[in-house]
Structures are given as C-alpha cells and as structure tokens.
Structure 1
Amino acid sequence: MAQSHRFWNWIARRYARMPIRDQASYREKLDRTQAVLQSDWDVLEFGCGTGTTALEHAPHVAEIRGIDSAPKMIEICRERAAAAGCANASFDLAAIDRLDQPDSSLDAVLGMSILHLVDDRDAVIANVFRMLRPGGAFISSTICLEGQARLFRQVILPIGNFLGVLPRIHAFSRTNLIAAFEAAGYEIEENWQPDEDPMKAVFVIARKPA
C-alpha cells in the first residue's frame, strides 16, 4: 500500500475532522462487532486510519492494537488515545502484508474499509487466517465496486491515483469477496450490506474454524 502513503498523509487531518456519512450503518457495524468481541480478547485492527473504530471497541476487549502505513494517521491515533485516557489501545506504523505477527496469536482482526485498498487482497485474507486463533474472527467492511460506477472506476480513480490525490481502489464483487474468504478456510457468519445498496460497503464476519 506504499503508493497510498502520499494521499493518506496529505488528507489525515482533514479526514479526522470529517463526519461519518452514514452514522446508522456505522453504528450497526459497531454493534454487530461488539456482539462478537469478548472482554479477554487480543484484537488487531489494520488500516486503522485515525483510530476512531479501535477506540470504540477498546472497552470491550483486553487489548486492541491498531496499525496503519501512514505516519500522520498513527500520530492522530495516539493523540486520540491519550486524550481518551485509553490504556488498552496502542497504535503502530506497520502494514498488514509485512507484519511479523505469530501464528494463532489473535482472537480477532478488524479490517474496516481497507481490503479494496490492498494490492493482494487474497494474500492478506490468508495472512489474517494464519494470525487468528481457532475460533477467532476476521471482521471487515469492504467496498465492492465491480460492475458499479464505471466512469469512477475507469477514469476518475486512475487519474486521481496518478496525481496522488486518490488512493488506488481495486474493484471486485461481493460474491468474489465472500468466495475469497471461503477459499482461505473461513466460515461466514455475517454477510450484510446496508439497504442492499451496491454502493455501500459489505460487512463480513468470517470465523476461523475452532
């Protein structure tokens, strides 16, 4: 995801001030996630952005670690954690495809609004499977743009990425995303898209078999 550093560092402070556009769907995803999390769990969130979601979940787990490949995003995460007095959340500069995490060492991994940004989605899904303990959960929210907004995908995004003002977004379908989880060995517990709107992110809870 190195090609996106310029964009995310450039937008970090503005991004931190942006309101969440679909508060109802965001709240529903938080609730569905917290119904799965347990108080003694060790959790990782990759592509944690400005830390909002990690800090929402911190009271519900033992430890949560957020990682992001953009230094300015991690700077904001640490500021927010300190301001909230959140002792069980930590934030580090790292990328999921280069993270040296031991096998079967995590109870849950969160990947919110990130799988469509990584260069090798299937490798990331498999790497998370390796990290999870048996019975652990990979919880994600992913934009699936295949077949949607052709002008946006084929013209606007490539130009924006070339200029460094938009990240690279990979287009695939909801069906393809679920198939990738299943091919890696997960069992799908939730496959939810708000309002069945194809332009909204797909929320998935995928479980590593116990």
Structure 2
Amino acid sequence: MTSQRGFWDRMAERYAARPIKDVAAYEAMLADAAGRLSPSDRVLEIGCGTGGTAIRLAPGVAQWTATDLSPEMVRIASAKPAPPNLSFVVADADLSTGEPPYDAVCAFLILHLVDDIRTTLSAIRDWLKPGGLLLSKTYCIGDMNPALRWGVIPVLQRIGWVPPIKSLMSQQLRAAIAEAGFEIEASRTFGSNSHAHYIVARKPA
C-alpha cells in the first residue's frame, strides 16, 4: 500500500478542504449507520481519512478506533475536536489494531482501494465478534460507463489526481463479501451516485 500512502499524504490537505458533494446522501448514510450501532459497541473504522465520519458517529457507541494508512490524514483528523471515546491510529487496512474482537467494523470508501479485497474482508471477519456487523460503502468502478472507466480515470491516475482503484463490479463486491463468510443484510445507494454501494453484512453468530 506504499503508493496509496504517498498519494493520500500528498492529497490530505486538499481532501480535508473538499466539501461533501451530496450532503443529503451523506446524512442519510450516517443515519442508517448510526441506527445499526449500539451505545455498548466497540467499533473499528478502516480508511477513516480526515475523521469526519468517525467524529459524527463515535458519540453513539462506547469506543471508536479510527485508522488510516496515511500519517497526514491521521494528523489532520487528530487535530479536530472529537469525543473522548474516539482515537485515531495510523494503520494499514489489513492490519489489526486495538483489541479485537469488535462489535462493528466500518469500511467507508476503502474496499475499492485495498490491494486484495478478499484479504481485507477476511481480516475484517476475524476482527469481528460472532454476530458483528460490517458497514461499508464502496465505489464499483466496473459498473461505470466504459469511457470513464477506461478513458478518464486512467488519465487522472497518470497525472496523480486519482489513486490506484480496483475496477470492481457490484456483483463482484457482493460475491466477495459473501465468500468471506458474511451474510448481507442490506444493500442500497444514497443520492444520485448509483455506483457507491452501501452494504451492511453480518458475521454469523
């Protein structure tokens, strides 16, 4: 993940300053996620970025550990006002941190960026308690218009504006989650972006 780390370190300040494109869709996702978490839950978030989602959701649980592979992202996140039960940690998405098992793992906009989605999903399953939840949102680039997928995105990657992205299709994403041993409980999109798939899955009890 070295190339990913370098990209996000370079982009951290710009990423932090970027406004949310669809506020209503983001708020709807937060509400759904919050409704699935309990005040006694211990939560691990991978790919937390500059911490905005963690800061919003952490007050509703007992403990929230937010991780990102980019030290610059974590530096920015750690400088923000945050609830006392929230901690930010530099860690790769595939490496355990804190003290598993967790009641829930959040993976928002990260599974399309990892080196091997099956390895990451296997790690997430191992971190979860029996009956624990995976809350995820993933860009399925493979379902996009071919002109974007094979034309625009590679150009943006070459000039350093877009990180390496896996060309996942939504069916591949669902299959990978199921093959990792999860039971999918909900799947939807929020707002107008039909390629950002929000999936809630549970590790069998």
TM-score range, shorter chain: over 0.9
Tell me the residue number matched to 1:188: 184
TM-score normalised by structure 1 residue count = 0.91
Tell me by how many angstroms 1:197 deviates. Answer: 4.9
Q: 1:152 to 1:189 in 2, by over 3 A?
A: same
TM-score normalised by structure 2 residue count = 0.93
- 1:139–1:206 CA contact under 8 A, matched in 2: yes
- Root-mean-square deviation (CA, aligned residues, Å) is 1.7
- 1:138–1:205 CA contact under 8 A, matched in 2: yes
Q: What is the correspondence of 1:104-123 to structure 2 with a 5 Å cutoff?
A: 105-123=101-119
Q: What is the correspondence of 1:90-169 to structure 2 with a 5 Å cutoff?
A: 90-99=87-96, 105-169=101-165
Query: Matched residue pairs, number?
Result: 205
Identity of aligned residues (%): 36
Tell me the residue number matched to 2:10: 10
SS at match of 1:91: strand
- 1:33–1:139 CA contact under 8 A, matched in 2: yes
* 1: CA distance, partners of 2:53 / 2:97: 23
* 2: CA distance, partners of 1:23 / 1:108: 24
Does residue 207 in structure 1 map to residue 194 in structure 2?
no
Question: Which runs of 5 or more structure 2 residues have no equivalent in the other structure?
Answer: none
The residue type paired with residue 43 of structure 2 is V
- 1:41–1:62 CA contact under 8 A, matched in 2: yes
The residue type paired with residue 15 of structure 1 is Y
Question: Which runs of 5 or more structure 1 residues have no equivalent in the other structure?
Answer: none
Tell me by how many angstroms 1:109 deviates. Answer: 0.4
